[in-house]
Structure formats: C-alpha cells, structure tokens
Structure 1
Amino acid sequence: MHSALSRNLLLRALAVVAAAIVVVTAGWAVPARAHGNIQDPPSRNFSCWERWGGDFQNPAMATEDPMCWQAWQADPNAMWNWNGLFREGVAGNHQAAIPDGQLCSAGRSNSGRYDALDAVGDWSATTVSNSFTAHVFDQASHGADYIRVYVTEQGYDPTTQPLGWGDLELVKEIGDTPAARWDQVAGGVALDIPVDAPGRTGRHVVYTIWQASHLDQSYYWCSDVNFGGTGNPTPTATATSSPTPAPSVTGSPTSSPTPSPTGGAAGCSVTYSTASTWSGGYQGDVKVTAGGAAIKGWRVTWTLPGGQAISQSWNATVTTSGSAATATNAGYNGALDAGASTSFGFIATGTPGAIAPTCTATV
C-alpha cells in the first residue's frame, strides 16, 4: 500500500479499536444489537461483507471488486454492520426522507457510515430470473408492518446512473407480518418473498424497504442483479454476526498452518495464520474444517504466548483464562458439511509466537 493510504487506514482502524474498548470486557467481544438485511439477492454491503469479510485487507479487492473496495476504504463499519442500515421516524414518507441519489445509503443515514453504497459503478451483481425469491433475514425478530420490493425500470443502467425514486417500480408488497409467521432460522427469523419483474433484461437494482414492527424504524437495501438467469437458490446459511473489524495495517501476512487431529470421521481440523502485525499487536486468522462427516459445532483451543491478551474477535465467541484461549462457533457457522470450512479471527496484544490450536467437534 502507499504510505498515505496506510496512514489513513491506520487512523480509521485506531478509531474503531477505541470505540470497541467500550464494549470489550475481560476478553469478551460484546456485539451490538443487530437487526437484519436482504441476503438474497444480497444487498451491497452484505454482499461485500460476505465476499471479503474474512479477507478485507487483500489488495486484490481493488481490481477484482472495485466497488466493494471503495466501500471498504470509505468506512469498513458499513460492512461489519451490514444489519444496521435504517432510519427512524420516517412515518412512511420515504421519498421525502431520502433524496434521489441517496437511496442505497438511506439518505446518508448513520452519520454517513453507508454513503459509499450510493457510488455509481459496476457493483457485483447476482444473476436472477424474472421470477425470483427475495430472502429477508431478521436477526432481532422485529417482524414487519410491511415489506416493499421495487425493481428499476427497463432502460436504467446502475453502472452509469445514480438511483432515484423515478427509476423504480413497485413489484411486490406484503403487509403486517409478525415475526412468529417468519421462518425460524439460526440466529433469528427469515422470510422468503416471491417476486415477479417481467420485461427486465440485463443489469438492474432491486430496492427493498422493510418497515419493522417494533417501532418506526425503516430499513433500505440496494441489491444489484442481472436478469437472464434461471433463478437464485434459497440460501443454505444465514449470517448473523456484526463482528468488530480488525485494524487495517501494513505488513506482509505470515502463515504458520497448524492442523489439529481430525478426531475421527466426524472431527475437525484447524489452521492458524498471522494475518498482520503492528507495534504492540497482531491479527490472527483461524480456519476450521470439518472431517470426513458433517458436524454440528466446533470448539478451538490454544495457548497464548506469555503476557498476551485478546481484545477483539469475530465469527466466534472467544474467551480467555490466563494464557488459555477458547473459541466456540457462532450460531451461523457451527454446522459444517464434510470437508467444509469456516473461519474466525481475533486481535491480540503483543508479538505473535508459536500458536498451535486444536479443534474438537460436536456431532
């Protein structure tokens, strides 16, 4: 990275770490109260988190996924907090509250955290047919007063045009739907909404408004799609965490994979790598892989080098007792098919040393 960019990323990371100190106690990372998002076709920030959350420091993102890259650089919290893009007190007057060109950020909501989602360009798009299913995830089980699904009209080009209300056509609306009527899924509830958008071809934006039931709280999501496919499958997993991000720092990642015993056909293995280091700390990345049979959950243990402490973690619940560290799966990444993998990460003080984690599985 260039030095100027590195300094900017480091300053932003330090601000994130300072804010995280408020919610970290005795090695526990306490997540903020979460809400929800559309996960299929995925919204811009959920899609960026899904693809790059475990590798957000990879410089290849700049060329492979430039719209996500600019969003990560503008404010990583827009992706870590993929479930918090809402406004309060709109009273149903959405067009008055959100100007044209700012629909994807909900009118520059949350003090501008989501502004980069309004950027015009070639966002990664999900291929769908003209009849598709919108999969909405509600982590806090709010339920809905209503959900409205809009699709841009034929002729609109999201790669060159900012999104305005006049570009949208309402194609689906459901009314009062309490959370008890949503599907019970890991970490919350979910709702599959059949949508028909005839006459569309090529690139479009699906714009979804979710009016939550618990108070006047409105969520707004832009999903980039490409019409012309055979339909999108129902998601097989539902992400539920709002992890605290690791600092963006310079330095070449170093890797020291350490597989654990598989523990039999239904066991698990684990590899560890030091993703980055800086003065007084480092980021550790851990990959968990199921053995020859599916597992329902996993637990990773390791010994921290002397004098170290874990201050943040994501995609797992990490606790420490002295030098002993234990990570257990989150609600959404414990069940793994045979040979499937997931990952989690942590921030620790000190200088990384030899870390040899072991993994045990629940079957």
Structure 2
Amino acid sequence: MKRKIAIVGAAALALLASVLFFVKPADAAVGLRVSGGRVVEANGTNVVMRGVSHPHVWYTGQTSSFANIKATGANTVRVVLGSGQRWGPSNDLPTVVNLCRTNRLLCVLEVHDTTGYGEEGAAATLDQAASYWISQRSALAGTENFVIINIGNEPFGNNEQVSATWPTATSNAIGRLRNAGFEHLIMVDAPNWGQDWRFIMRDNAQTVFNSDPQRNTVFSVHMYGVFDTAAEITDYLGRFRTAGLPIVVGEFGHNHSDGNPDEDTIMSYTQANGIGYIGWSWSGNGGGVEYLDMVTNFNPAQLTSWGTRIINGANGIRQTSRELSWFGGNPTTAPTTSRPPTTTPTTPPTTAPTTSPPPGGRSCSVTYAVANQWGGGFQGEVRVTAGSSAISGWTVTWTFPSGQTVNQAWNAQVTSSGSSVTARNMTYNGNLGAGATTAFGFIGTWNGTNTNPTPTCTAS
C-alpha cells in the first residue's frame, strides 16, 4: 500500500503582529462533546463539520486564509501545526485561536509531526505530540466551545508491528491530556497513513473511546486511494454509525498518487448521515500532490477544479455547511455568504468599484468585499494590489455610507473616526512587487443596510 505523500513546506513568513479579540461569553456546559455517537455543542445542537485544512505551520504569513476559508461557507478549519520534532514548534496558538474565533470557525488543531511514525524515520510519537499540547495548555484554556484537539496527524505508517500499537499509544495520549486538565473534544487519526486499511482503528475504537474518562473522543479517517469505491466508504463509515461511535472524514481529496478516491460518495454519504468532512487542502501543496490545492497560490479568486468541486459542487461546503450556534449562527439554515459562480472567478465576488491608479510612479488599487454577513454583523475583506511598480507601503481609506463600524481587524492597522476608516499596512505586508496583492480583513457591525463604500489606496 502506497503511503500518502506529505505536503512540503515553504520558509516561514513573519507572524501576525496584531489581532483584536472577539470575545464570546462562556456557556454553562463545557463545550463541544460527544452525545449519542455524534458531536454536539454545549446546548445540544448537532455539529457537522464542513471544513478545509490550512497548512499554517509552513505558511505562517497566510493569515488571510482563515477569512478566505470562512468566505467559502465553511464552518471548520483544520490548522496544521508543528510540535518541534519536524516542524515548528508552533508557539503562535493565541494568534491562531483568535483568527478562528474572529472568523467564526470551528478550529481543529493538529500536530503534523507524527505523520507516518514507524515508517517515516523523522516522525514524532503520539507521546511527544501530547507533550506539545500540554505545553500549550494556557493558550487553549476556555476554548472548549470552538476548538478540537487533533492529537497527531496520521500517527502511524504501514509498519505492521508498529501500527499495531495504535490503540495503546492513542489511549495513553488521551489520558495524558485529561490528566493535564484538558476538557476539549479530542480527535484521533487512524494509523496506516490515516487510511486504516488494516482496520486497526475501526476494530479498537470502542476500547479507545472507553479509555477517555470524559468519553469525549471523535475518530478521524483519511480517505484517499484506499477508499476508491462506494462500498468501501459506506461500509467503513457505516460500522461506526452502527456501533454508536463518532466518526469524521478528517481528510480527503478528489485524486491521489495511491488511487482515485470516490469523493462523490464521500460527500453524499456523509451528508445523508450527518458525518463531518474536512477537505485537504487550501493551498501550498508540493511533492507531486499540487492537484490537491483548492485555490492557486492562496488566492481565493483562483479556484482549482478540486476547489470548485468541494466548495460549490453537490453536497459541497457552500450547500451543506452550518455555522456553530455558539457563534450566533442559525444551525438550521445555510450561512449568508454570497455564492460565487460555479466557474472560477477572475476577480473577487461582491466587490466595490476598484480605484484606478494614477499613471506613472508608485500606485495601488483596492477592492472591498463583504465575505460573510449575519444579523447585525459582517466580515469584510479588502485586497490591495500594487500598480506597475513595486511599493513599500500602502494606506487604504473609505467612508461607510450606512453607519457601519469596524470592531476587529487583522493584517492591517485599522483606525476609525466616525464613519471614516483608515487602514495601513503591517510591517510584513507593505512591500509588494509590481502587480502583487495582499489582503486584510475585519469584523464590523451594520444596521438597516450594509452598502459597500468606495475605498481609495495610496502607495509609498
């Protein structure tokens, strides 16, 4: 059995330097939990994950991806982190958590260093992953309503002797987290590069579930070439349903080097049976699996065929995702995110007029879009593009025409005076080459109407 080819990372970019916090009052019950074989919120509302994996540990500067993933209608982002054995360590969890919170996303945090242990020589153990989580305990305190701890990605390869230790190693890691005081919903990945083709997770899931003193563990299978027929998909997932055990498809794609997964059945069966799925992955893939990018070069305006399928296709994210009620979303209706055309757009949807840069010299243009909207609130996205010459900084200004306000922002220094708003670049996104683009986002409020302003951009 061929193993899954791992994503390759790029040099880490500068970390997000400033983010404002969106605070949600604590619920009486402790956060996300398992009830009756399903994941529910503290108030008992069913949670069906519809999400996208984001390779954060290799692309730490791509913080705008959280807002862009939310704009697809996704209710979940699975964030790739490093424990320090191979990548990282990821010590920016406060930033990551607040990006999830401000973008109203269920946040699945996973340690990627464990991938293929026993077959991949550099891989970390689940015990090492547990140590990382315990070191980050303070950063995760109070996040049980919207954060899931995915202990380690694909924690065993195909080495039969080593992968057979999955039940004990997984139970021990869960026990360490509980002993350290974690009350989060825990997610555990299958062995055999996540695909469990030897059925080690399937046949030992009840034992592992019972080892959790809180009975608050959800199982995650990754579906690639092993799951290339409808019968294999429905049998595997159906056995968990019959056993009353919680299961999600924690990764899947439309194609892979080890075979052609049946993504249509994955998406239709999970939708029919209330099972979550998280697609791999937003952008940045390498090592021969670049076709698994949903968008090209982290640009949400450039959907790939895979991105078009999982986001806009039948049983896709936009059609089936429901926001967590804890964020104020309506769990019985789809998000109010604007639906783009099914073909790949060449410009971002729902944009305000683009300013025309003056001829010659340094210049920039800007577009303004409402990425998501709910009663009394909305998420804005602003894109800045350099003109025919490189620029070293930018300032965007606009005046809200309908009394809107900005409450939180990221990837820009945003100030307001009445209805006038000024946004200036951060230290890490001011330098843009000719024609290059960056983006920043914000959470705002509106009342009555939410008419787009017409922004202007000044370059330096």
Question: Above 0.5 in TM-score?
Answer: no
TM-score range, shorter chain: 0.3 to 0.5
Higher strand share: 1
Higher helix share: 2
Using structure 2 for the length normalisation, give the TM-score.
0.35
Greater relative CO, 1 or 2 (CA 8 Å, sep 6+): 1
